[in-house]
Amino acid sequence: MPRKTITINLSQSVMTHKGLVSIITLQEPLAGDYFALGDPFTIASSPQGNPFYVEEPERIAAYLDRCVIGDVGPDRVATLGLHDAMAIKEGLLSFFRHGGEAAAGSKTQPTNSSSQTSQPSTPAGSAA
């Protein structure tokens, strides 16, 4: 079965050894990646009992090292602007949210459905 991928359109192109690149493609982590790294976030509860995600930056960076494919290596990803970095992070996290059902294609933002009360929401003040 082919691995799912997510394509992120960059707001600014990045120079690689093959020229300017304006997209980054993430591939779905493998079981070995997941078993080695664990979840890229933990789930905590607010004082009111509402669950929310707490991101684990070191794990997110480790997953990006394994999941970015194509001409843009991790060293070039580190030079991208904040807007693109946040889009790439959200693309990666979408593989893990909602039962691991990330959509293939160019979707970079997770679906937020008010009817799904069992799913933790993104904490206020973080990128979503």
Contact 52, 46 (CB under 8 A): yes
DSSP state for residue 117 in the 8-state scheme: T
Contact 27, 4 (CB under 8 A): yes
Task: Parse the chain into domains and list their residue ranges.
Answer: 5-100
Backbone angles phi, psi at 124, to 5 degrees: -60, 140
| 89-106 pLDDT per residue, tens | 999 999 998 655 444 343
**Rounded CA gap, 53 and 128, in Å?**
11
Average pLDDT of the chain? 81
Of all residues in the chain, the percent with pLDDT exceeding 70 is 76
Structure pTM?
A: 0.73
Contact 60, 92 (CB under 8 A): yes
Whether the predicted pLDDT of 80 surpasses 90: yes
